[in-house]
Chain A
Amino acid sequence: NAGVMQNPRHLVRRRGQEARLRCSPMKGHSHVYWYRQLPEEGLKFMVYLQKENIIDESGMPKERFSAEFPKEGPSILRIQQVVRGDSAAYFCASSPIGQGARETQYFGPGTRLLVL
């Protein structure tokens, strides 16, 4: 059973370009979470999705950021018009149908975004 897959692993963009980060959850997992990790900091929650539904996007910046988890295919985190402050590691996690707060999340290897 493959783990959580993320691609690309590294992404370089110039200011103003778009960044698309992809996440394929573990087989059988229907919940996906996106986190951002800035240098020397812990992970910060961004968004929680189930298939075709955004459950909680309270951690997403109000502008330029969007996420989706379609019926078929990976979850996508999209950042439009990137700025240098968007440079960070973006992690995706997945979990099976929930146990609430006791749920274990399984993390992917992350996408390191660098904005020049």
Chain B
Amino acid sequence: AQSVTQLDSHVSVSEGTPVLLRCNYSSSYSPSLFWYVQHPNKGLQLLLKYTSAATLVKGINGFEAEFKKSETSFHLTKPSAHMSDAAEYFCVVSVKAPNDMRFGAGTRLTVKP
């Protein structure tokens, strides 16, 4: 069965500095990988997804993620953090069907002025 591990439960950055949220996955098959963002008391919004096309995936709001099969990683990055980026971020892996999505425990991003 597939699984995903988000390596940091909490990341704090200053506004204008880079963001790195780390995600490692485990899967016996070629995975689809997603990053979702959840703002307080809101639903989850898709940031980006990887589905076996280009390994560098660009998403909304300036985020991007790189699929590295050799490292089984799918880290999320952004060159310059904005205050509005403060939220919970979830890395998700899916293999065979939409009902087998597995969510990481989440990384809470704090952005300091």
Which residues in window 62-113 of B have CB below 8 A to A?
90, 94-106
Q: Does A107 lie within 8 Å of B44, measured CB to CB? A: yes
A13-B90 Cα distance, complex, nearest whole Å:
29
B contact residues, range = 20 to 34
Contact with A along B22-47 (1 / 0, CB 8 A): 00000000011010100001111110
A60-B36 Cα distance, complex, nearest whole Å:
23
Which residues in window 1-60 of B have CB below 8 A to A?
31-32, 34, 36, 41-46, 49, 51
Which residues in window 26-82 of A have CB below 8 A to B?
31, 33, 35, 40-45, 48, 55-56
User: With contacts A42-B105, A107-B36 known, is A48 near B44, CB below 8 A?
Assistant: no
- B binding-site residues for A, Cβ under 8 Å: 31-32, 34, 36, 41-46, 49, 51, 90, 94-106
- Give me 14 other A-B pairs in contact (C-beta within 8 A), A93-B44, A101-B94, A107-B36 excluded: A4-B43, A43-B44, A43-B103, A45-B100, A91-B44, A95-B98, A98-B97, A100-B96, A102-B94, A104-B34, A105-B98, A106-B46, A107-B44, A109-B41
